[in-house]
Structure 1
Amino acid sequence: MEKLQAALAKARAARHEATETVRPGPVLRDQHVRKPSKSNTTETIWEALPRFDLSPAVLRQHRIIAGEANSDATPFDLLRTKIILQMEQNGWSRLAITSPEPSCGKTTLACNLALGLGRHTSSRTMLFDLDLGSPSVHEFFDLKMRYGLPEVLTDMIAFEKQAVRVTDNVAVSISPHPEKDPTRFLMMDRTAEFLDDIQRDYAPDIMIFDLPSALSSDKALAFLKNVDCALIVARAEYTKFKKLDRTEIEVAANTNVLGVALNGCRRGTLSDSDLS
């Protein structure tokens, strides 16, 4: 554990030196970089999304605990606040979440972060499951839907008929079925256009993208050009420093590295999620 903490400190110092000049985020097609105002039309479009009430028992089963303020949710609340401050400071709104390899807890963190952000009633959050080869957000939230993001991206179905609101100000777009060739959806021009349309029409304050692990394939790296920043999730006593270091290098080549969240820490060492 001490070796991993030292490695994270070393990576943090190296990351700070390498990112003194912040990489620019994606620019919308119409070149308007200012966040759209929440007009009456935006309110209407947002409220038109179907509402799905989450099951507290299902959430607990999958360790999704940040929807309510309590001591268990404190680590996610601290992480949420750090993320909000850094993203607001840089004018960012699109956050990718990835990990060096599977089983680091990135989807658990993404779902908790989305619901934690949802407790800020003055802002809106959208969570997209883009781990198209192995999607799981629908299982964590027990969302049983026929269509997923691939059907939206290929214009088979409209976004408003596929996405749902799980709270008043948190919307989720899932992918209920694994795709045989996920990379083609993540790389096609239509995906970038779709994100611009969503940002213009729904005006979310933060868009969270649950991506595949960065080292298992090229899927995550193929998408990073569409986001402002990325959070890397490592797992204590599981993630090797060499893999973490390689992931940071790969991610930093494509977008801004927001930080590293160390997941699965034992009590008495670090908090359950620590943004370095």
Structure 2
Amino acid sequence: MSQQPNKQRHLITVTNPRSPVSEAFRALRTNIDFSSIDEQIQIIMVTSSGPEEGKSTVTANLAAAYAQADKKVLLIDGDLRKPTAHKTFSLSNRYGLSSLLSQQADLNEVIQESGVPNLYLMTSGPIPPNPAEMMASNRMSTVLQELRQQFDVILFDTPPLLAVTDAQIVASKSDGVIMVVSYGKVKRDIAVKAKANLDRVGAKMLGVVLNNVKRKASEGYYYYYYGN
């Protein structure tokens, strides 16, 4: 499949790879790679404390940054309540993660080419009545083990931490977690509470992405801070 940057309007790493924002995503990728010396960080969950903090946009751009580094990357839309990845990449959501977990589709049927070289997408699939139970299932664990054999990096976009329990469940199955925080929108105590939910399930916190900070009027509206 050929690149379709006009359809991938949120992927600044694809449409403008030399921009300061794209460089920030590459720096984030590098920091993640060096964040663990003894253990491989392969499955990375991206979440936020609340809605509309930009986590899905961050996940998609970080996935593209990994793909540009010649990694075979899978982006999983694990938000089985308000999925967006299929819209970002202009792909069908007829079959996806929910179809796979409910055994209505096979693995090869739910992995699609994204239009970005080296980057593949597993959309959410039809919205199920029991998202949390699906995430906690043995089937989910088995699927992730299979995917580890096929991809270098797996990025898992999940619902906000304080909204539902889905993200906490996925965190326990991931190698590390990144939390996206929208600058000036989320109060500190809310973010701290969200992190406490991750600590409760023994998640490995890789860092925080501070989103929507303007440095200069001439630059884009993202700026990312990475740290433990």
Match of 1:111 among 52, 60, 69: 60
Match of 1:165 among 113, 118, 134: 113
Task: Number of aligned residue pairs: give it.
Answer: 220
Q: Tell me which residue corresponds to 1:274.
A: 225
Deviation at 1:155, TM superposition (A): 1.8
Q: Tell me which residue corresponds to 1:97.
A: 46
TM-score between the two structures when normalised by the length of structure 1: 0.75
Q: Secondary structure at the match of 1:126?
A: strand
Determine if contact 1:133/1:181 at 8 Å carries over to the other structure. no
Deviation at 1:110, TM superposition (A): 0.3
Determine if contact 2:98/2:125 at 8 Å carries over to the other structure. no
| Structure 1 Cα separation of the partners of residues 190 and 40 of structure 2 | 30
Determine if contact 2:42/2:148 at 8 Å carries over to the other structure. no
Q: 1:243 is matched by which residue type in structure 2?
A: I
User: Does 1:227 find its partner at 2:178?
Assistant: no
Change (3 A) 1:196 1:260: same
User: Does 1:193 find its partner at 2:134?
Assistant: no
Q: 1:273 is matched by which residue type in structure 2?
A: Y
Q: Tell me which residue corresponds to 1:17.
A: none
Determine if contact 1:263/1:273 at 8 Å carries over to the other structure. yes
Q: Secondary structure at the match of 1:111?
A: helix
Determine if contact 1:136/1:176 at 8 Å carries over to the other structure. no
Q: Tell me which residue corresponds to 1:128.
A: 76
Determine if contact 2:93/2:126 at 8 Å carries over to the other structure. no
Summarize the alignment of residues 1-276 of structure 1 with structure 2, pairs less than 5 Å apart. 52-60=1-9, 63-67=10-14, 69-71=17-19, 72-87=21-36, 90-121=39-70, 123-166=71-114, 167-200=116-149, 202=150, 204-254=151-201, 255-268=203-216, 272-276=223-227
| Structure 1 Cα separation of the partners of residues 170 and 223 of structure 2 | 28
Q: Secondary structure at the match of 1:175?
A: coil
Determine if contact 2:98/2:126 at 8 Å carries over to the other structure. no
Q: 2:180 is matched by which residue type in structure 1?
A: V
Q: Structure 1, residues 179-220: CA drift from partner, whole Å, max 9, x if none?
A: 3321111011110011112213x1x22111001100011111
5+ residue gaps, structure 2, are: none
Determine if contact 2:76/2:156 at 8 Å carries over to the other structure. yes
Q: Structure 1, residues 203-255: CA drift from partner, whole Å, max 9, x if none?
A: x2211100110001111112221111100000001011001111111112221
Determine if contact 2:111/2:122 at 8 Å carries over to the other structure. yes
TM-score between the two structures when normalised by the length of structure 2: 0.90
Deviation at 1:160, TM superposition (A): 0.8
Name the structure with the higher helix share. Answer: 1
| Structure 1 Cα separation of the partners of residues 178 and 109 of structure 2 | 29
| Structure 2 Cα separation of the partners of residues 135 and 271 of structure 1 | 22
